[in-house]
Chain A
Amino acid sequence: DVKVTQSSRYLVKRTGEKVFLECVQDMDHENMFWYRQDPGLGLRLIYFSYDVKMKEKGDIPEGYSVSREKKERFSLILESASTNQTSMYLCASSSRQGVNYEQYFGPGTRLTVT
């Protein structure tokens, strides 16, 4: 079974703190993704990565950065957390083998910024 794990299920941070969200997948997938999920808005793509040290902006990258130093690990960084970044953050991975597009998701990190 594909497994995508995220470092924390719940996180509470203060405004202005630097926040790291970690994601690890064990299926040797090339692609990794970070989304945020908000009620009524569905999932919105923040950043994605096709390969190690490679990243591309998604639809809402402002206020976020990412790091992918190893194939299995994709980190989301909030340089200076703000209250409007309170949300559920979901990590996903997918394979580039064939035309598939199916993404596998982690359980999510619910981040609260106070």
Chain B
Amino acid sequence: AQSVTQLDSHVSVSEGTPVLLRCNYSSSYSPSLFWYVQHPNKGLQLLLKYTSAATLVKGINGFEAEFKKSETSFHLTKPSAHMSDAAEYFCVVSVGWNTDKLIFGTGTRLQVFP
């Protein structure tokens, strides 16, 4: 069965320092993987997606993630945090090759301090 585990429920960084949000996945198939972001009182927005093309995926707002099959990981990174990055981030995996269902992780809340 497919699943995702977000290893940190909260991450705090200072503005201008790197961001690392960790995600491990489990999948019987070659998965599609996503990161979504949810700002306070807003809907979820797609940050980036991996669908079996390049393993290093670039997204919006300077975020990127690397698909590592050997480590079953899909960690989200950004070189320099901005105050506007404060939000909740969800790692997401597709259920299988013949279904459009997604499975969401439990979320990581990112705090950015000035």
B44 at the interface (CB under 8 A from A): yes
Name the residue among B9, B97, B100 with the largest chain A CB count within 10 angstroms.
B100
In the complex, A41→B107 CA distance in Å? 8
CB-based contact A94/B100 at 8 Å: yes
A20 at the interface (CB under 8 A from B): no
B49 at the interface (CB under 8 A from A): yes
In the complex, A101→B34 CA distance in Å? 9
Q: Decide yes or no: A48 and B101 within 8 Å by CB, A42-B107, A90-B43, A108-B43 being known contacts.
A: yes
A53 at the interface (CB under 8 A from B): no
**Residues of chain A at interface, number, CB under 8 A:** 26
CB-based contact A45/B101 at 8 Å: yes
CB-based contact B102/A41 at 8 Å: no
CB-based contact A107/B46 at 8 Å: no
Q: Chain A residues with Cβ under 8 A from B9's Cβ?
A: 40
CB-based contact A96/B43 at 8 Å: no
The 8 Å CB contact of B106, one of A40, A96, A104, is: A40
A43 at the interface (CB under 8 A from B): yes
- Besides A101-B94, A102-B46, 13 more A-B contacts (Cβ < 8 Å) are A40-B9, A43-B44, A43-B90, A44-B104, A90-B44, A96-B100, A99-B32, A100-B51, A101-B34, A101-B100, A101-B102, A105-B45, A108-B43
